[in-house]
């Protein structure tokens, strides 16, 4: 395959020399994704192919989140992929934030276009253009829309799932009659994201607000959930923006209020993406491969038949089928009946794929009415588990594993959250330990910039929870009662 | 809003003078979609916005089809949107078929690309490139992949849902060890599409093969389902292609056979799109608006409370809530409790939106323990239906409506399927009656072209079912036992 400059794959990025990427953990990350068949490199610059196992994982995340989005009153819709350049230029901060990442369609149907079309990097502009058409009265509000879509951002450095030229996501866009309502919406959706991360992905997250430096282009306030990966780096896992009236003014979204006046709407937008798959890999995995939280694992229980003779095979497979049929009431079950592979190979294969529970069943197990259970999260093997009551046993185990994976991640975060009282202490912690570093903070945007340059660490969020006494800013020394969380981040 | 040449909307296409489009039915189609809020014009050439009601309909279609795709052993995956131009050029017929419809990305991240990227019009090329990487042995086959995605084809004449620059679809792509297996797969998936159309969308379809003229660019054989719309025009509702080894040879998909030889894989691809929403509108709707088949209707039962005083309102709404809670076990229910609209307005509103069953509940109904049921498909009103046993009543009614809508469409097709023995008879039928015209056919591709030019009718399919005696080709007069179905088509 001839590869031209603009079809450089992520593969080459991953092989670049880069302090972080050359680390064993970076290689482990890439190898784990490729070998567990979550994704593959695509022959297109910065793009990847999400393979069936990775896509099934995404589908389970989607299903959980889609239900929560609908339960909070939102409706799905679909807006065009290609956005006229003039639309994106309407909100000044927005275009400044995104213009260097545009993929531009200049030709269509064999002809040069008069106005270029931008492949959507996010859909505020096209969606708010439509909102202006639909919103007339306070009775049309709130307007609560969500879209599941692909977006393209021309990223220079890419990494499977974490940062790709094209990615899949959902983007919520809402319009409200008052600032308070919009503010409440932005925080409500952040809480939905926290629930998704903690209760489904088993990833504990900090919730808080971004500083101006890290704010979404066009937002008044950006809220976020931040997770800590097992290499001590932070990952922004979802954001929710209070947009104020910025886009409403740019796109003329006005409504007649109940009192009869004409007012601009107040808005939010919020999104999470396939990056969450990367968060699961980096947040839970170990040297053997993936560790998937049961609630979103495509396969929750894999059954490996063990036999030597054809006679044993017949007896064992019959029992495996019977047990699988029973377990299907409580779990997503797969029988690995490939006959050209050894049980040992299969054990490794399913461990690498992070399947939470493995049942090994041999002729003796059949005779004794038992199975062997192997837990992926602890590596524990439990022999001689009775087949009677196995369904309840497995259902309970899946709940216990989900909890254990979360607890381990939370414990890791506790062990890797430090505090620092001054900048020299801060630098030492960032360089030697990594993780979240909690500090008193009263610095400026410029100060943040300097710290990033010197340490690579950025402010991940100003946590909502601020209940400490007054202290001194670790950088400026000024008195403040506000604390911020710093970390090196993906 | 300033609209440049290349951001001409579908709206302007719809307003063009064109024999077919100026017809009352064409205006009815557009008005119905806009007024029922299935979709809206987008400010981007040839694109539309799928509004929440239309998207919910699509989600129900997706859900039914996705389950059937998975039940037949396929797995979902996701491949890049942007395809290097050199990839598409690899299969000669394929590029000839699609190159005039390309949307081309020439710039990314502020720089001109060395090789342009095509926004996928369909994904055979990128997917088969990956298949070549994944398929090595007969053990890797069959490879059964499906993708839910957006695609872009630079269409000159667009129409809401039926033909838009960008549309949503699923595309299946499979690789097999033998021609027979691939052939069986192509027909199996056509049967899935037939089931979707008939059992879910209540649209009877003909199944058969396309002639060479209408074949998918790069396919050996194209199978299709063809539905008849209520204006006598045909609509291709889904296609399934036997690709032979065309793409396998272009992309070098080879595998080691069980016997040890090296062979090219045999392949299929198949797809249905958001065009199906247009088929539902045109296939069932009447002068009042949409008529939605219950199985895919976003709202199956709407409850309209009727009251004059606040006291009545309280009593009626309480009863509506209670009935809605009970009905939720068997149906998707919505209570229209907007208090600024009259019941009459609401009746029209929900009729236009095609909701299958409406329950009207007033104070007297509450007192008498009854409701009034209005059927959208027949217009029938049934007064005094007891609230006791209402859940079973409604469940049964939804099944009856689904069947009735299908039966009516089938009856319409019967009434509008003619036969013609010679070309002059054929021309008369096409011009005066429309509908499907069944004829003996032994003509050439050129003959088809001439007929299309003269009558606008094309061969929709050569039906699988061919049990007639020998006759004479209506165009060439040559003896043949093959019959073909002609119609004017969308």
Residue-wise pLDDT for B123-147, tens only, equals 999 999 999 999 999 999 999 999 9
Residue B426 neighbours by CB under 8 Å, 6+ apart:
B420, B437, B439, B451, B455, B457, B474, B475, B486
- Residues in A closer than 8 angstroms to B149, CB to CB, are 150
Q: Give the HSE-up count for residue B45: Cα atoms under 13 Å, Cβ half-sphere.
A: 24
**Higher pLDDT among residues A445 and B24, named by residue:** A445
Report CA Rg, chain B: 25
Rounded Cα–Cα distance for residues A401 and A403 (Å): 5
Least confident span in A24-33, B130-139, B436-445: A24-33
Write down the pTM of the prediction.
Answer: 0.95
- Residues in B closer than 8 angstroms to A80, CB to CB, are 42, 44, 47-49, 166
Q: Which of B40, B84, B256 is the mutation pick for testing A, counting most A CBs within 10 A?
A: B84
- Residues in A closer than 8 angstroms to B130, CB to CB, are 40, 42, 49
Looking at residue A437, what is its pLDDT?
98
Contacts 24+ apart (CB under 8 A), A305-309: A305/A335, A305/A336, A305/A337, A305/A361, A305/A362, A306/A343, A306/A360, A306/A361, A306/A362, A306/A363, A307/A362, A307/A363
**Could you give the dihedral angle defined by the CA atoms of residues B62, B68, B69 and B75, in that order, rounded to the nearest 10 degrees?**
100
Looking at residue A298, what is its pLDDT?
98
Q: Is A82 helix (H, G, I), strand (E, B) or coil?
A: strand
Rounded Cα–Cα distance for residues A42 and B83 (Å): 10
Residues A46/A165, Cβ–Cβ less than 8 Å: yes
Write the burial class of residue A273 (CB in 10 Å: 0-12 exposed, 13-18 middle, 19+ buried).
buried
Of A5, A43, A77, the CB nearest to B49: A77
Q: Which of A10, A104, A120, A129 is the mutation pick for testing B, counting most B CBs within 10 A?
A: A104
- Is the Cβ pair A80, B149 closer than 8 Å? no
Mean pLDDT computed over every residue of chain A: 94
Percent of chain B with pLDDT over 70: 95
Structure tokens at A114: 């008069």
- Residues in B closer than 8 angstroms to A168, CB to CB, are 78
Alpha helices in B196-262 (DSSP H): 246-251
Give the mean pLDDT of A424-445: 97
Contacts 24+ apart (CB under 8 A), A28-33: A28/A285, A28/A287, A29/A159, A29/A160, A29/A278, A29/A281, A29/A282, A29/A285, A30/A160, A32/A281, A32/A285, A32/A289, A32/A290, A32/A352, A33/A160, A33/A161, A33/A281
* Nearest chain B CA: its distance from A352 CA (Å): 19
Residue B441 has pLDDT above 80, yes or no: yes
**Which strand ranges, in their side-by-side order, compose the sheet holding B357-361?**
B333-335, B301-305, B357-361, B370-375, B381-386
* Nearest chain A CA: its distance from B249 CA (Å): 14
Find, in chain B, the residue whose alpha carbon is nearest to that of A130.
Answer: B42
- Residues in B closer than 8 angstroms to A7, CB to CB, are 84, 115
Residue A237 has pLDDT above 80, yes or no: yes
Buried b (16+ CB within 10 A) or exposed e, A219-228: bbbbbbbbbb
Residues paired with A440 in a beta bridge: A483
Rounded Cα–Cα distance for residues A139 and B454 (Å): 53
Rounded Cα–Cα distance for residues B440 and B476 (Å): 10
**Tens digit of pLDDT for each residue in B214-249?**
999 899 999 999 999 999 999 999 999 999 999 999
Residue B42 has pLDDT above 80, yes or no: yes
Of B47, B100, B119, the CB nearest to A110: B100
Give the mean pLDDT of A364-376: 98
Percent of chain B with pLDDT over 90: 91
- Is the Cβ pair A80, B5 closer than 8 Å? no
Give the mean pLDDT of B350-378: 98
Give the mean pLDDT of B302-324: 97
Rounded Cα–Cα distance for residues B303 and B335 (Å): 5
Structure tokens at B269: 């691809």
**Tens digit of pLDDT for each residue in B5-19?**
344 456 655 544 344
Residue B22 has pLDDT above 90, yes or no: no
Percent of chain A with pLDDT over 90: 91
Rounded Cα–Cα distance for residues B181 and B178 (Å): 5
**Which strand ranges, in their side-by-side order, compose the sheet holding A103-108?**
A82-84, A111-119, A103-108, B103-108, B111-119, B82-84
Rounded Cα–Cα distance for residues B142 and B309 (Å): 67
Residue A1 has pLDDT above 70, yes or no: no
Residue A392 has pLDDT above 90, yes or no: yes
Residue A12 has pLDDT above 80, yes or no: no
Looking at residue A13, what is its pLDDT?
57
Looking at residue A95, what is its pLDDT?
84
Give the mean pLDDT of B418-441: 97
Residue A154 has pLDDT above 60, yes or no: yes
- Is the Cβ pair A7, B84 closer than 8 Å? yes
Written in H, E and C, the secondary structure of A131-170 is HHHHCCEHHHCCEEEEEEEEEECCCCCCECCCECCEEEEE
Residues counted in chain A: 490
Find, in chain A, the residue whose alpha carbon is nearest to that of B81.
Answer: A166
Rounded Cα–Cα distance for residues B197 and B440 (Å): 27
Strands, E assignment, B362-465? 370-375, 381-386, 417-419, 436-440, 457-463
Write the burial class of residue B24 (CB in 10 Å: 0-12 exposed, 13-18 middle, 19+ buried).
exposed
Q: Which of B57, B58, B79 is the mutation pick for testing A, counting most A CBs within 10 A?
A: B79
Buried b (16+ CB within 10 A) or exposed e, B378-391: eeeeeeebebeebb
| Alpha-carbon distance values, A362 to A19, A307, A320, A391, A394 (Å) | 48, 6, 9, 19, 18
Residue A406 has pLDDT above 80, yes or no: yes
Count the neighbouring beta carbons within 10 Å of the beta carbon of residue B455: 18
Residue B271 has pLDDT above 90, yes or no: yes
Looking at residue B10, what is its pLDDT?
62
Give the mean pLDDT of B185-214: 97
Structure tokens at B388: 């006791």
Looking at residue B91, what is its pLDDT?
82
Confidence band for A11, pLDDT divided at 50, 70 and 90: low
Give the mean pLDDT of B180-197: 98
Looking at residue B94, what is its pLDDT?
82
Contacts 24+ apart (CB under 8 A), A59-63: A59/A298, A59/B76, A60/A295, A60/A296, A60/A297, A60/A298, A61/A196, A61/A200, A61/A201, A61/A276, A61/A277, A61/A296, A62/A148, A62/A170
Buried b (16+ CB within 10 A) or exposed e, A405-428: bbebbeebbeebbbbbeebeebbe
Residue A157 neighbours by CB under 8 Å, 6+ apart:
A13, A16, A18, A163
Rounded Cα–Cα distance for residues B95 and B88 (Å): 6
Give the mean pLDDT of B359-369: 97
Report CA Rg, chain A: 25
Residue A196 has pLDDT above 90, yes or no: yes
**Tens digit of pLDDT for each residue in B66-109?**
999 999 999 999 999 999 999 988 888 888 888 889 999 999 99
Looking at residue B21, what is its pLDDT?
44
Residue B211 has pLDDT above 70, yes or no: yes
- Is the Cβ pair B109, A154 closer than 8 Å? yes
Strands, E assignment, A251-300? 254-256, 262-264, 266-273
Strands, E assignment, B18-108? 39-41, 48-50, 75-76, 82-84, 103-108
Of A50, A77, A114, the CB nearest to B50: A77
Rounded Cα–Cα distance for residues A142 and A267 (Å): 9
Q: Which of B82, B96, B113 is the mutation pick for testing A, counting most A CBs within 10 A?
A: B82
Measured on CA atoms in the order B415, B419, B423, B425, is the torsion positive or negative? Answer: negative
- Is the Cβ pair B109, A156 closer than 8 Å? yes
**Tens digit of pLDDT for each residue in A67-79?**
999 999 999 999 9
DSSP structural state of residue B138: G
Q: Which of A78, A165, A174, A345 is the mutation pick for testing B, counting most B CBs within 10 A?
A: A78
Comparing CA positions, the residue from B399, B289, B411 lying closest to residue B352 is B289
Rounded Cα–Cα distance for residues B410 and B228 (Å): 9
- Residues in B closer than 8 angstroms to A339, CB to CB, are none
Of B2, B59, B115, the CB nearest to A7: B115
Strands, E assignment, A85-233? 103-108, 111-119, 143-152, 166-176, 205-209, 221-228
- Is the Cβ pair B77, A50 closer than 8 Å? yes
Residue A91 has pLDDT above 90, yes or no: no
Looking at residue A25, what is its pLDDT?
86
Rounded Cα–Cα distance for residues A131 and A158 (Å): 33
* Nearest chain B CA: its distance from A354 CA (Å): 19
Please give the helix or strand (H or E) that residue B205 lies within, else none.
strand B205-209
Rounded Cα–Cα distance for residues B85 and A375 (Å): 47
Q: Which domains, from first to last, does chain B contain? A: 5-284 (3.30.930.10), 299-403 (3.40.50.800), 418-488 (3.30.110.30)
Mean pLDDT computed over every residue of chain B: 94
Structure tokens at B129: 């490139």
């Amino acid at each position: 395959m001839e590869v031209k400059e603009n079809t450089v794959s992520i593969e080459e990025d991953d092989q670049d020399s880069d302090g972080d990427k050359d680390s064993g953990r970076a290689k482990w990350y890439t190898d784990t994704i490729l070998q567990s068949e979550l994704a593959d490199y695509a022959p297109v610059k910065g793009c990847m192919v999400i393979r069936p196992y990775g896509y099934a994982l995404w589908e389970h995340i989607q299903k959980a989140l889609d239900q929560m989005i609908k339960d909070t009153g939102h409706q799905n819709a679909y807006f065009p992929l290609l956005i006229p350049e003039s639309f994106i230029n309407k909100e000044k901060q927005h275009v400044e934030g995104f213009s260097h990442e545009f993929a531009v369609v200049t030709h269509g149907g064999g002809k040069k276009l008069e106005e270029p079309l931008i492949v959507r990097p996010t859909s505020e502009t096209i969606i708010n253009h439509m909102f202006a058409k639909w919103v007339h009265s306070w009775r049309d509000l709130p307007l609560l829309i969500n879209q599941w879509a692909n977006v393209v951002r021309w990223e220079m450095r890419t990494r499977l799932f974490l940062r790709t030229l094209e990615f899949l996501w959902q983007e919520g866009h809402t319009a409200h009659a008052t600032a308070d309502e919009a503010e409440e919406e932005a925080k409500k959706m952040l809480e939905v994201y926290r629930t998704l991360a903690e209760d489904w992905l088993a990833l504990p997250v900090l919730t808080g607000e971004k500083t101006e430096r890290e704010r979404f282009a066009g937002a008044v306030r950006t809220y976020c959930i931040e997770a800590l990966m097992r290499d001590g780096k932070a990952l922004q896992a979802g954001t929710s923006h209070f947009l104020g009236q910025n886009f409403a003014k740019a796109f003329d979204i006005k409504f007649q209020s109940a009192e009869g006046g004409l007012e601009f709407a107040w808005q939010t937008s919020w999104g999470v993406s396939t990056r969450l798959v990367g968060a699961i890999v980096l947040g839970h995995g170990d040297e053997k491969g993936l560790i998937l939280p049961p609630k979103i694992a495509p396969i929750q229980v894999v059954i490996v038949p063990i036999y030597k003779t054809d006679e044993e095979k017949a007896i064992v497979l019959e029992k495996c089928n019977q047990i699988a049929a029973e377990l299907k009431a409580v779990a997503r079950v797969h029988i690995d009946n490939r006959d050209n592979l050894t049980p040992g190979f299969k054990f490794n294969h399913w461990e690498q794929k992070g399947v939470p529970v493995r049942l090994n069943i041999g002729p003796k197990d059949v005779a004794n009415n038992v199975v062997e259970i192997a837990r992926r999260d602890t590596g524990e093997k439990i022999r001689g588990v009775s087949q009677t009551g196995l369904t309840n046993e497995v259902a309970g185990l899946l709940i216990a594993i989900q909890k254990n994976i979360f607890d381990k991640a939370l414990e890791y975060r506790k062990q890797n959250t430090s505090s620092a009282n001054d900048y020299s202490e801060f630098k030492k912690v960032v360089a030697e330990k990594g993780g979240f570093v909690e500090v008193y903070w009263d610095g400026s945007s410029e100060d943040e910039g300097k710290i990033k340059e010197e340490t690579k660490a950025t402010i991940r969020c100003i946590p909502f929870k601020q209940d400490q006494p007054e202290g001194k800013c670790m950088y400026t020394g000024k008195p403040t009662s506000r604390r911020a969380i710093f970390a090196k981040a993906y």
